[in-house]
Structure 1
Amino acid sequence: MAFMLRWTTSHLTDSETIIKKPMVFSEFGKSSKDPGYSPSARDSFLNAVYTNIYNFARSGGIGGGLVWQLMAEGMQSYDDGYEIVLSQNPSTSGIITQQSNKMIALDHI
């Protein structure tokens, strides 16, 4: 988790200070195939990433974040470990909904 927070912070800082353009942080997630995986570990990871994104979005440094990957029920053949079926993962669904609502509330995005 510490590496992810350093990595996102450094890229978001570069976006603001060097490139001087907002960025979209995409294709992040936590694989169910990783050792020690649990839905609560995924939720903690997503919360950390979304908190970082939101904090930078408040100042206009980022336009949003795209989790990898949301799937509909019945798409098991595409399962790569990162899939999130919202109807089967209510806690994760709540985290994504909360982040969406927080981002919508920022009137400059």
Structure 2
Amino acid sequence: MAFMRRWMTSHWTDSRTLLKKPMVFTEFGKSSKDRGFSIASRDSFLNAIYSNICSLARSGGIGGGLLWQLVAEGMESYSGYEIDLFQTPSTSSVISQQSRQMTALEHKISRP
């Protein structure tokens, strides 16, 4: 997780100082095909990513995060990254909480 935090922070810094553009972290997730996978470990991973996003967003310049990938109930699982919110209410709760937190930070995100 330390690498992930450093990676996110360095990209956020570049976005603000070099590019002078807001950013969104995209296509992150945890595959159910990974050794030792559990829904709890995925929820913990998503919480860590989202916590870092919120922390950086408080300073401005982060528009949010887009995990990989939400699917509709009954869709096939190919890569292991699929999340069916009806099948995993704990993950649904993690994502919902992130949405509420980012909404509360909207005033920091929408600055020109």
Give TM-score, length-normalised by structure 2: 0.90
Q: Distance in 1 between matches of 2:3 and 2:86?
A: 30
Alignment correspondent of 2:101: 102
Mapped partners of 2:58, 2:70: distance in 1: 25
- Alpha-carbon distance in structure 2 between the residues aligned to 1:63 and 1:74: 31
Q: Equivalences for 1:28-107 in 2 at 5 Å? A: 28-76=28-76, 78-107=77-106
The letter of the residue matching 1:90 is P
Root mean square deviation of aligned Cα: 1.2
Aligned residue in 2 for 1:20 = 20
Which residues of structure 2 form unaligned runs of 5+?
none
Deviations 1:44-67 (CA, angstroms, capped at 9, x unpaired): 110110011111111222111001
Percent identity over the alignment is 69
Name the amino acid aligned to 1:21.
K
Distance in 2 separating the partners of 1:22 and 1:36: 35
Which shifted more, 88-97 or 1-10?
1-10
CA distance in 2, matches of 1:9, 1:79: 31
- Where do 5+ consecutive residues of structure 1 fail to align? none
Q: Which runs of 4+ in 1 moved over 4 A?
A: none
Task: Give, in angstroms, the shift of residue 22 of structure 1.
Answer: 0.8
The one-letter code matched in structure 2 to 1:22 is P
Q: Distance in 1 between matches of 2:32 and 2:106?
A: 35
- Give the letter aligned to residue 98 of structure 2: Q
